[in-house]
Amino acid sequence: MTTTTAPRAHGAFTWMDLATPDLEGAKQFYQSVFGWEFHDIGAEFGHYHYALAQGRAAAGLGQSSDAQMPPAWTVYLASANGDIERVKALGGQVMLEPMAVGDAGKMAICVDPTGAVFGLWQPFNFIGAGVEAEHGGIAWSEVATRDAAAACDFYGKLFNATPRAQSDEYFIMQRGEDMLFGVMQMNEQWAELPPHWMGYFTIDNADAALERVTAGGGKVVVPPFDTPFGRIAVIADPHGAVFSIVQLPIAG
C-alpha cells in the first residue's frame, strides 16, 4: 500500500469529501464499492466520517446541512499562506473563507474564474488522504472547464505551476517534476454540464467495481475505457454524487 505521511506539494490533490443527504446510505454504498470502513470523528464536527482504506484515511463523508445543495464530492488542493488573497486577486471567488477544523487544519471553498468549485486544505496535524494509488485511495484530480486557457492561467499563477499540454484539450499542471492535477477543455460533447472538478479513486478491478456500483443503486455515467494511465469509469452514487475510478496499469 502507498501511504503518505508528509504534507503534499503546494497545489497537489490532497483530499476529497462527500456532502450527502443520507450519510448511512452513503456509507453502505461506498463500503460495498471500495471496502471502506468508517470512523466518526464526533459530534463536535457534525459526525463527519473518515473513510478508511486499510486503516488509513482515504476520504471524508458528511451529512449535508443544506437541502438546496446537491450531493457532491469536493476536491481539495494543498494550500499555503496567501492562497486566499491570490484567489481573489486572480479573479476567483471565495465561497467559504478559511476555517480551522480543530487542530487538523484549515479549509476554504473557492470558485475559479471559469466557474469550477474547489477546496483548499492547509494542514496542521492532518495532511489529508493517507493512502493513494492503491485500492480505495485517491489517484488523480482534474478540472473540466469551458476555458482551459483561463483555468491554466489562474491555477498556474495561484500555485506557481506550468501547464504541460498532453493534447489540444488536456493539460497537466506541473511545478518541476511534481504533477499537481489536470485541466480538461470541455467541448460540445459535454452539452450543458457546468465546469467542475473531478476526483479519481483507485480501484483494483474497474469492471467488477461497476457491478457493485449498480447492485448498490449507483449508476455508471461513463462506461469503462482504457487509457495509457489505466482503465477509467465515471460513477454516480445513489444520490447523484459523481466521481471517477481508475484501475491503474500494473507496474512492469
pLDDT digits (tens, 9 = 90+) for 101-155: 999 999 999 999 999 999 999 999 999 999 999 999 999 999 999 999 999 999 9
Instruction: Give residue-wise pLDDT tens across range 232-244.
Output: 999 999 999 999 9
Q: How many structural domains does the chain have? A: 1
**Structural domain includes residue 8:** no
Residue 6, domain member (yes or no): no
Would you say residue 1 has pLDDT above 60? Answer: no
C-alpha cell at 75: 476536491
DSSP 176: T
Q: How far apart are CA 172 and CA 129, in angstroms?
A: 21
Tell me what pLDDT residue 4 has. Answer: 57
Would you state the pLDDT for residue 5?
64
- Predicted TM-score (pTM) of the model is 0.95
pLDDT in the model for residue 251: 67
Q: In whole numbers, what is the pLDDT of the chain averaged over residues?
A: 95
Establish if 143 belongs to a structural domain.
yes
Confirm if 221 and 210 have CB atoms less than 8 A apart.
Answer: no
Residue 252 has pLDDT above 70, yes or no: no
Domain that holds residue 143: 13-247
Q: Closest by alpha carbon to 123, among 181, 60, 79, 178?
A: 79
In a domain, 75, yes or no: yes
Q: What is the DSSP string of 105-129?
A: EEEEEEE-TTS-EEEEEEESS--S-
CATH number of residue 67's parent domain: 3.10.180.10
131, part of any domain: yes
Percentage of the chain exceeding pLDDT 90? 91
Q: What is the pLDDT of residues 50-105, one digit of tens each?
A: 999 989 999 999 998 776 788 999 999 999 999 999 999 999 999 999 999 999 99
Cα–Cα dist 225/207, whole Å = 10
Does 7 map to a domain?
no
Question: What is the model's pLDDT at position 68?
Answer: 76
Query: Which residue type sits at 251?
Result: A
Does 106 reside within a domain? yes
> Taking the alpha carbons of 8, 10, 11, 17 in that order, is the dihedral positive or negative?
positive
1, part of any domain: no
**pLDDT reported for residue 65:** 78
Q: Tell me the mean pLDDT in the region 218-223.
A: 97
